[in-house]
Amino acid sequence: MKLKIAIQKSGRLNEDSIRLLKECGIEFNNGLNKLKAEAYNFPLEVFLLRDDDIPQYVEDGVADIGIVGENVLIEKSKKVKIVDHLGFGKCRLSIAIPKDKKYKSVKDLKGKRIATSYPVILDKYLKKNGVKAEIHEISGSVEIAPGIGLADAICDLVSSGSTLFTNGLKEVEVMFKSEAVLIANKGLNKEQQKILDKLMFRIHSVRKAKNTKYILLNAPNNKLDAICKILPGMKSPTILPLAKKGWSSIHSVLNENDFWDIIENLKAHGAEGILVVPIEKMII
Ligand code: ATP
Ligand code: MG
């Protein structure tokens, strides 16, 4: 029995999806133009597809699970289960207009032509805000639509905003924020669920490790109490004596988010020779 996973064949989610599986220790040969690959060391079969098709394939059970942007999932309105958010492919679905146009509120979009590849989400958004506008569905290069006179506004994915900027557009509404999600067919059998659980365990270990750093530092023994209070550790920090009398080495783990605050605090409390190293996997 193998679990079938659908991931994007090429594009913005492809690399991160493959990296995630590889970091989970799953090896497969994803050579050029391959549509299917079998993992050598995990009961997984990988399908490489257009991202638009992934929700449908997972709903139908052609693939058991898949990795896709939440934006695509919602647009396609398929009946699948979101198993987890994966922390990559972050972007927002926004409305943008030419930067010299005035804009006060979403009501200003009334009667306007809006070009988008996300007609379903846009329609819902406009209805929710009581705005009637014309939706022009186009499948790509949405950002040039105002420039060529096809539309007055666009609704498209934005991450840094540089594409909007180069096309003379400004972001006026953020409709929703998206990231890659792991989705699953709703009718997985026991065996498939077991493989998925195994995969999820690995994904969590990898993701936890990514957000965490291993830290080593030296400190005089009379500062140990204060420093240990700053460093929570998994259970508690490890303290080892240094060869130099009166000094110890402290080992612990840190959350990436609190990282700089804690480092400054440690230095202020007498820590020296601070080393911070990445963790590959973290099993708690
Ligand atoms: P496909 O050929 O598979 O249909 P695509 O051209 O539709 O690919 P990509 O542009 O590769 O899709 O984007 C895939 C996903 O990456 C998006 O649906 C979105 O979830 C995410 N993403 C992250 N940042 C951005 C961005 N700046 N612009 C577009 N998509 C982004
Ligand atoms: Mg697509």
Alpha carbon of 183 to ligand 1 centroid (Å): 17
Alpha carbon of 155 to ligand 1 centroid (Å): 14
Bridge partner list, 95: 155, 173
Q: How many other C-beta atoms lie within 10 A of the C-beta of residue 277?
A: 8
What number does the ligand 1 atom closest to the CA of 50 have? 3
Measured from the alpha carbon of residue 16, the closest ligand is 1
Q: What is the pLDDT of residues 76-106, one digit of tens each?
A: 999 999 999 999 999 999 999 999 999 999 9
- Specify the pLDDT at position 31: 79
Beta-carbon neighbours within 5 Å of ion ligand 2: 51-52
- Specify the pLDDT at position 256: 83
- Specify the pLDDT at position 19: 96
- Specify the pLDDT at position 150: 95
Average pLDDT in the chain: 95
- Specify the pLDDT at position 30: 81
What number does the ligand 1 atom closest to the CA of 12 have? 11
pTM: 0.89
Measured from the alpha carbon of residue 74, the closest ligand is 1
What number does the ligand 1 atom closest to the CA of 71 have? 20
Alpha carbon of 89 to ligand 1 centroid (Å): 8
- Specify the pLDDT at position 234: 76
Report residues whose beta carbon is within 6 angstroms of any ligand 1 atom. 8, 11-13, 50-52, 69, 71-72, 89, 91, 157, 159, 178
- Specify the pLDDT at position 235: 80
**Ranges of the chain whose pLDDT falls below 50:** none
What number does the ligand 1 atom closest to the CA of 11 have? 11
- Specify the pLDDT at position 24: 96
Alpha carbon of 266 to ligand 1 centroid (Å): 41
- Specify the pLDDT at position 167: 96
- Specify the pLDDT at position 249: 97
- Specify the pLDDT at position 53: 97
Residue nearest to atom 13 of ligand 1 (CA): 12
Q: What angle do CA 172, 173, 176 make, to 5 degrees?
A: 150
Strands 272-278 and 212-220: antiparallel
